[in-house]
Amino acid sequence: MIHLGSIGKTTIDIDSSFIFVVGLWVANDYLNNQDLKVALLWAPVLFIGILVHELAHAAMIAILGHGASRILLGGIGGATVNARQALPWQDLLISLAGPAASFAEAFLAAGLYNRVAWMQRDPMMHAFIPIFITANMWWGFFNLVPVAPLDGGHATRNFLRMFLRERTAFIVAVWIAIIVGGAIVLLGVKAGQYFIAILLAWFVWANFQQWQYFRINGYPGD
C-alpha cells in the first residue's frame, strides 16, 4: 500500500493491484501498437482519470456534510470509503458525482485542446489528449451501467430507495443488474469485447449471489 497524502482530510492510497493493472494495460497497448511512448501515456491517463473520479465522490460527500473520506485506488478502479448515514437522494448524488467528473474531464480536455494552439503542436499532448478524452468518456459511460458495484448500480438502487422500501428497492435493483448486465455480457461477446464481457459477467455473478443470499437469509431488518 502506498500513501499519496491527503486533500483536506480525505486520504489517498494506492494498492499494488492498481499498479499491476496499469502495467498490464500499458503492456497490452504496446503489444497491439508497438509504440512504447504512446503505451506509457496510459499510466497518467488512468491515474488522473480514476483519481479525479473518486475525488468527485469524496467532494460530494463533504458538500453534503458527511465529512472526510478515504480514497483507495486498487484493481481496475477505485473506491471512496466513508462511514456515512446518508439519505437516499444524497447517496444518489454521491454515486453520480464520479461519472459526472469523468465526463467533465473529457470535455475540459477537448476544450483546451481545441483552443490552445501549443497543445496541438506538442507531440506528447497531441498523443495524450485524445487518449485522455476517450478513456474518461468510456469510464464515465461504463460506470453508469446499472450493475453494482459500478456507480450506475448504486445510483439505481438509491433512486429506488427514494420511493420504495429498502427491501423492494434491493430486489428491483439486483434484478435490473442481472438482466441488463447479462444482456451487455452477451453483446460484448458478440462484438468481440471480451474484457468488458468478462468484467460484467463477474459483476452479474456477484449480484446473483446477493440475490441467492437474500432468498436464504432475507433482507437485513426483515
Supply φ then ψ for residue 210, to 5 degrees: -60, -40
- pLDDT tens-place string over residues 127-186: 899 999 999 999 999 999 999 999 999 999 999 999 999 899 999 999 999 999 999 999
Closest by CA to 183, choosing from 201, 170, 195, is 201
Indicate the domain borders of the chain. Answer: 1-144, 146-222
> What's the confidence (pLDDT) of residue 25?
85
Instruction: Please answer whether residues 33 and 14 qualify as being in contact, where contact means their C-beta atoms are separated by less than 8 angstroms.
Output: no
Beta bridge pairs of residue 6: 11
Which positions of the chain have pLDDT values less than 50?
221-222
User: In the prediction, which pLDDT does 83 show?
Assistant: 87
Instruction: Compute how many other C-beta atoms are within 10 angstroms of the C-beta atom of residue 153.
Output: 25
Q: How far apart are CA 183 and CA 201, in angstroms?
A: 10
d(CA 90, CA 66): 10
Other C-beta atoms lying within 10 Å of the C-beta of residue 32: 9
What are the residues facing 4 on neighbouring strands? none
β-pairing, 10-14 vs 70-74, is parallel
What is the reported pLDDT for 124? 85
Model pLDDT, residue 21: 87
Instruction: With 0.85 as the threshold, say if the pTM is over it.
Output: yes
Question: Which triple of cell numbers denotes residue 12?
Answer: 489517498
Contact 141, 103 (CB under 8 A): no
